[in-house]
Amino acid sequence: MAPGESQPREDRTLDAIRERLAPAIAAAAVFDGWSADAVKQAADATGVDADVAAYAFRGGAMEMIGAWIGHLDVAMAIAFPPEQLATLPVRERIRRLVRFRLDAQIGLEEALSRALATMALPRNAARAARLGWRSADRMWRLAGDTATDYNHYTKRAILAAIYAATLSVFASDESEGKAETWAFLDRRIAGIMRFEKTKAALLRRPEERFSMARFLGRLRYPAN
């Protein structure tokens, strides 16, 4: 679509339908997976015409999963207006945003597990990465991040990876009150903060400039 060109009316209408159906589809996906049956059940539950709902999600499971993730993105932004997070340390801002998303999926662990399996398929990898990046970007923006240099990309890439890993833990966590998930999340967020501090220190010394390639290499081949 060319810059400044408005979205076609049909697409705007379908987006509204997807947004309306997304929570009901996620609930149905607990039993029926991200399937046409889940769409039909959601349509029946929300009063949307079944044929229109099927057309809106003609793209299949990834269309449904993307709508659900988009629903979480919107709900998170509504729940956390900028002034609510402004007084908190950055670490706590990120923690609360991630926890909100996870809390919204309590009771939907089976649907989440199926979504993660679907997104892990090679044919869906690119779209799954875009969805993860979008959510990480929205979390950082809500947290007040205004970086425009390479920090913009490293922060989002790292948070997207941490969020994806935490989702996997959450989906199979049977501990009381999801204690294992929250502990896992806190450790990973602490890691982000340590990384940011170390990176800032290195950038102050020209002879020890931060190298993203070196950092990623160490993640892949840690020192013994």
Per the structure, how many domains does the chain have?
Answer: 1
Q: CATH no. for residue 140?
A: 1.10.357
Question: Is 201 a member of any domain?
Answer: yes
Is the residue at 51 inside a domain?
A: no
For residues 168 and 126, give the distance between their C-alpha atoms in angstroms, rounded to a whole number.
19
pLDDT in tens, the chain (224 residues): 444 445 555 556 899 999 999 999 999 999 999 999 999 999 999 999 999 999 999 999 999 999 999 999 999 999 999 889 999 999 999 999 999 999 999 999 999 999 999 999 999 999 999 999 999 999 999 999 988 888 889 889 999 999 999 999 999 999 999 999 999 999 988 877 776 665 555 555 554 455 555 555 555 555 55
Two structure tokens written together for 108: 């939907």
In a domain, 20, yes or no: no
Single-letter residue type at 110: E
Tell me how far apart the alpha carbons of residues 79 and 100 are, in angstroms, rounded to a whole number. Answer: 9
From 217, 103, 184, 97, select the one nearest 145 (Cα to Cα).
97
CA 181 to CA 6: how far, in whole Å? 42
**Range of the structural domain that residue 95 is part of:** 84-220
Show the tokens assigned to 154: 């490293």
Q: In the chain, how long is the greatest CA-to-CA distance?
A: 64
Say if 158 falls within a structural domain.
yes
Query: pTM for the whole thing?
Result: 0.82
- Residue 59 DSSP one-character state: T
Q: Which residue type occupies 221? A: Y
